[in-house]
Structure 1
Amino acid sequence: MKRLAFLVLWLPALAACGTNAQTGNNPAYDQLLSTLYHKTVHTVRPAALARELSKTPNAVLLLDTRTPAEFKVSHLRGARFVNFDEYEKATFADVPRDRPVVVYCSVGARSERVGERLQSLGFKHVRNLYGGIFQWVNEGRPVYNAQGLTPNVHPYSALWSPWLTRGTKVYE
């Protein structure tokens, strides 16, 4: 309950603090993430994932764990949609347990839950995108929709939207 009260009271103020425009780094965002993450799934920073994908684009399975509306607005190129509202039922039977997987959502909290589920199903190489799609976009990395490259990003909610400092915020 204390964590929720902290977020509600301080979220708008913290979002405005100290973002580095070149790197997308924001100490206040890092602090928020440290309160949200349970540290049960290893994280990968957007820059490291981008390097990995540029070398071998299909070696990592990207799982977008947001809602259908969020995924429709934009997602990482090649990502597979996993509806967060239904992930507990998913068995991922078509995915080899030794394939590297990176899960992501808006900020990384929901995707960490999906990562935990994957680990419980025997997946050996699961990572959570640190800061989620927000951090990815805040660092200037591309996102896509059904038509191709897009500046649009679904900000999840008005409460979370201040953490998305780049891109065009689109609610659908």
Structure 2
Amino acid sequence: MTLSANTLVAEARARIRELTPEALAPRLADDIVLIDVREPAEFETGHLPGAINIPRGVLEFQVEAHPAVACVTDPALSARDRDIVVYCRTGGRSALAAYNLQRMGFTRVRSLAGGITAWREQGLPLHLR
């Protein structure tokens, strides 16, 4: 059976928790790890305040300092019980990322519903470099 990207995203969304931009915005001051899983060039166009950029393609490798990422891990991924919110442009990549992080033992991970696109549509603040 062949699966489409949309099917994979739908399956992931059925197994994760999503957070709306309106629910996340007032919590930005909390101890939440925000991970932008878009590519670096996308991140540079604007991102949520306080977000770190770990592209989707290397996220799982960053968890355990895999040789594919020069045996380096990101400190944001050091505690599997921290509040983590992942996001991308529209929510597909972040749904897949949240699902895989859950499978890797992260217990408090969520995906931003609608991604940064929904965030922008609500007129919420962005950080520009």
TM-score (norm 2): 0.78
Superposed counterparts of 1:140-151, under 5 Å: 140-146=123-129
Is the Cα contact below 8 Å between 1:103 and 1:126 reproduced in 2? yes
Q: Which residue matches 1:48?
A: 23
Deviation, structure 1 residue 129? 0.3
Specify every segment of 5 or more residues in structure 2 that has no aligned partner in the other structure, as ranges: 65-72
Q: Who is 1:70 aligned against?
A: 42
Q: Distance in 2 between matches of 1:61 and 1:123?
A: 12
- Please report how far the alpha carbon of residue 84 of structure 1 lies from its aligned counterpart in structure 2 after TM superposition: 1.5
Check conservation: 2:60, 2:101, Cα contact below 8 A.
no
Query: Which residue is equivalent to 1:110?
Result: 93
TM-superposition CA deviations, 1:55-86 (whole Å, max 9, x none): xx141100000011100111000001111222
Unaligned runs of 5+ in 1: 5-32, 147-172
How do residues 93-104 of structure 1 correspond to structure 2 at under 5 angstroms? 94=75, 95-104=78-87
The corresponding residue for 2:10 is: 37
Where does structure 1 differ by over 6 angstroms across 4 or more consecutive aligned residues? none
Q: How many residues align?
A: 115
Contact 1:42 1:126 in 2 (8 A): yes
| Pair 122,36 (structure 1): closer, same or farther in 2 beyond 3 Å | closer
Distance apart, 1:88 and its partner CA: 3.3
What is aligned with 2:105? 122
Native 8 Å contact 1:37 1:108 kept in 2 = no
SS of residue in 1 equivalent to 2:63: coil
The 2-side partners of 1:71 and 1:42 are apart by 23
Structure with bigger gyration radius:
1
Q: What fraction of aligned residue pairs are identical, expressed as a percent?
A: 35
Q: Which has the higher contact order (CA 8 A, sep 6+)?
A: 2
For 1:138 and 1:36, how far apart are their aligned partners in 2?
22
TM-score (norm 1): 0.60
- Structure 2 distance, partners of 1:121, 1:98, is 11
